[in-house]
Amino acid sequence: MPKQILINALEKALLQARQKGLLKNEQTAEIQVQRPSDASFGDYSANLAMTLAKESGLPSRKVAEILVAELNLPPEVIEKTEIAGPGFINFRVNPQWLQKTVEEIRRKGADYGNSETGQGQSLQVEFVSANPTGPLHVGHGRAAAIGDSLAHLLAKVGYEVTREYYINDAATSTQIRNFGASLEARYLQALGKEAKMPEDGYHGEYVSDIAKEVVEKEGDRFLEMPAEERLEQFTLLAKQKILEGQRADLAAFGVRHDNWFRESSLFESGAVEAALNLLREGGHTYEAEGALWLRSTDYGDEKDRVLVRTTGIPTYLAADAAYHHDKFIRGFDKVIDIWGPDHHGYVARTKAAVQALGYDAEKLEIIIHQIVRLFSGGEVVRMSKRAGDIVLLSDVLSEVGADAARFFFLMRSADSHLDFDLELAKKETPDNPVYYVQYAHARICSILRQAEESGVKIPQPGEADPSVLVDERELALLRKLADFPEEVESAAALYEPHRMTRYAQELANAFHLFYTDCRVLSDDTNLTKARLSLVCASQVVLQNCLALLGITAPEKM
């Protein structure tokens, strides 16, 4: 990687300059190499001279000159070094090096872009984790897209990744009981009986749908049951049905969790009690007003939080503390939770609980994504009759398809509110970025088909001479392809999968430009071979990129 080569070379040059007494700086400045804002400046750029100027008492351009004189760069990678502007050192990559990456990409195939950054550390991404009291909505869709793509990214940079779904199914949960009671009421109503919905009942149409299904399959056999047992049965049924639906929605979205973890299992196994004891023994709790409190303020929370209610029933936080304890007991080196914006208030207390249990706060990363608003023709959409104001993920999927939904959910950074334009996502025109990207892949496949049909052999890696790829469009495409590992690296390091949708668009653009200006199949045998090889490399990178996003790469459109 040129970037790493440059950083190493600059480091060495700085050391030499110091040893020779040309620069007096003692401090070890972090050496940065970045992309210049304007490509005409070069492929890479270093600001080192500017950061050293003040301390060395020399003008930054002078410092740059000293550094450049000490620089020793492999000419086959970096062909040109120059000082520009206030003291930037700009580098241009040797086209030879770019041309060689075609072969490297083709040899590595699906592994191109992999790295060892994660060093095989085990890492868990927990995402979606919706309450079993209703179907998944668009917010969950965003979480699913982010979580799944992030998991792909982290696996690509060398982590051992587990995807987990936390089922909030605690039997003591008031919400679940309420939901069960709602289903019971709808069931009785479906059988023509008088029944009142509970006070904070679930009025969405999906509850009635489930009730009707129960009537169809089980008839009126619950009527005779004692009230308490019946409620229990319906609570169980409600949970089960919703969970089935959630699994089906995720499957339709192409998201698969390795592990579905039941909150209730923490109570059954005694893990909640154990975690509470640990917190007590560590002196992180106290009793007040008949409840057990966590001293979360010790770890920066704005107030202490209840762990066990006056009723003796543990809170969600108690279970969550036990849950995270369990994650670390299972040996995860790093745990990432992806939550909706309505949970941001729980970040501080959860991190507090984790620290009180003796773990480094840095081992837990909580990503909060902001809300999704659906638009159609400039109007906010409330699509679902079944769930009131909530727009269901399944509705969006049947409307625009999984690929478009994934891409749109991943177009913005998690921090940013997402306006999802359904019309645009449905369009089969270049305005729609997901089609734009997929079309590039379809075009690639079309060229390869065309070549085969006309009897032109696709060269194996190494069979083409890439040095004939000198057109500006070809070099621009090569640069984009060569960028891929660095893009993956930073998207993974920053936990920002949305960077890859942007990269996908840029890569597709570079390919379309190449396609327009450079005819692949021509009478010039060597050029045809080299360009076919470049097309194959483009296909590899586009596929790898789309795989990280969880989006298909169609061969025809």
Contacts (CB under 7 A) with RNA, residues 249-278: 263
Q: Name the residue with tokens 């009707």.
A: 212
Please identify, among the stretches 92-100, 171-179, 213-221, 274-282, the one whose residues bind RNA according to the rule CB under 7 A: 171-179
| Residue 557 C-beta: closest distance to RNA, Å | 3
Please identify, among the stretches 52-60, 97-105, 118-126, 462-470, the one whose residues bind RNA according to the rule CB under 7 A: 52-60
Distance in angstroms between the alpha carbons of the first and the last residue of the chain:
35
Q: Which of 439, 485, 492, 500 binds RNA (CB under 7 A)?
A: 439
Please identify, among the stretches 10-18, 229-237, 397-405, 494-502, the one whose residues bind RNA according to the rule CB under 7 A: 494-502
345 binds RNA, rule: CB under 7 A? yes
525 binds RNA, rule: CB under 7 A? no
| Residue 19 C-beta: closest distance to RNA, Å | 23
* Nearer of residues 99 and 173 to RNA, judged by Cβ: 173
Which of these, 376, 419, 371, 428, lies nearest to 401 by C-alpha position? Answer: 428
296 binds RNA, rule: CB under 7 A? no
* Rounded Cα gap, residues 97 and 116, in angstroms: 22
What is the per-residue DSSP string for 296-326? GGGGT-SS-EEEE-TTS-B-HHHHHHHHHHH
Q: Which of 418, 422, 530, 540 binds RNA (CB under 7 A)?
A: 418
Radius of gyration of the chain (CA): 29
Q: Which of 51, 99, 285, 538 binds RNA (CB under 7 A)?
A: 51
In one letter, which amino acid is 246? Q
Within residues 72-101, the interface with RNA by CB under 7 A covers 84-86, 88, 90
Token pair recorded at residue 195 = 């029944």
| Residue 74 C-beta: closest distance to RNA, Å | 21
Provide the β-strand partners of residue 335: 124, 364
| Residue 475 C-beta: closest distance to RNA, Å | 15
* Nearer of residues 31 and 195 to RNA, judged by Cβ: 31
The site that binds RNA (CB under 7 A) totals a number of residues, namely 90
* Nearer of residues 90 and 94 to RNA, judged by Cβ: 90
What would the x/- binding string for RNA be over residues 186 to 215, using CB under 7 A?
------------------------------
What would the x/- binding string for RNA be over residues 127 to 146, using CB under 7 A?
----x---------------
Q: Which of 198, 341, 459, 461 binds RNA (CB under 7 A)?
A: 341
Please identify, among the stretches 145-153, 269-277, 382-390, 438-446, the one whose residues bind RNA according to the rule CB under 7 A: 438-446
Q: Which residues have CB under 8 Å from 173's CB, separation 6+? A: 316
* Nearer of residues 225 and 380 to RNA, judged by Cβ: 380
Residue 210's alpha-carbon distances to 131, 204, 223, 507, 543, in angstroms, are 16, 11, 17, 46, 40
| Residue 376 C-beta: closest distance to RNA, Å | 13
Q: Which of 115, 172, 376, 543 binds RNA (CB under 7 A)?
A: 172
Residue 47's alpha-carbon distances to 25, 27, 79, in angstroms, are 15, 16, 19
| Residue 222 C-beta: closest distance to RNA, Å | 25
What is the per-residue DSSP string for 412-458? S-TTS-EEEEHHHHH--STTSHHHHHHHHHHHHHHHHHHHHHTTPPP
Specify the 3-state DSSP secondary structure of 170: coil
**Phi, psi of 129, deg, nearest 5:** 35, 50
| Residue 467 C-beta: closest distance to RNA, Å | 20
Residue 134's alpha-carbon distances to 201, 202, 232, 253, 381, in angstroms, are 12, 9, 18, 17, 19
Kind of pairing, strands 259-262 and 372-376? unpaired
| Residue 125 C-beta: closest distance to RNA, Å | 19
54 binds RNA, rule: CB under 7 A? yes
Q: Which of 276, 498, 530, 542 binds RNA (CB under 7 A)?
A: 498
* Nearer of residues 41 and 299 to RNA, judged by Cβ: 41
Within residues 299-328, the interface with RNA by CB under 7 A covers 302, 305-306, 309-311, 315-317
Q: Which of 24, 430, 470, 525 binds RNA (CB under 7 A)?
A: 430
Please identify, among the stretches 103-111, 188-196, 276-284, 343-351, the one whose residues bind RNA according to the rule CB under 7 A: 343-351
* Rounded Cα gap, residues 411 and 3, in angstroms: 27
38 binds RNA, rule: CB under 7 A? yes
| Residue 421 C-beta: closest distance to RNA, Å | 7
* Nearer of residues 330 and 499 to RNA, judged by Cβ: 499
557 binds RNA, rule: CB under 7 A? yes
Q: Are 393 and 255 in contact (CB under 8 A)?
A: no
Dihedral, 168, 169, 173, 177 alpha carbons, nearest 10: 130
Which of these, 163, 156, 169, 159, lies nearest to 127 by C-alpha position? Answer: 163
| Residue 79 C-beta: closest distance to RNA, Å | 16
| Residue 433 C-beta: closest distance to RNA, Å | 6
41 binds RNA, rule: CB under 7 A? yes
Quote the Cα angle for 299-300-305, to 5°: 80
| Residue 183 C-beta: closest distance to RNA, Å | 17
Instruction: Count the alpha carbons within 13 Å of 328 in the hemisphere toward its beta carbon.
Output: 17
Which of these, 350, 322, 352, 325, lies nearest to 338 by C-alpha position? Answer: 350
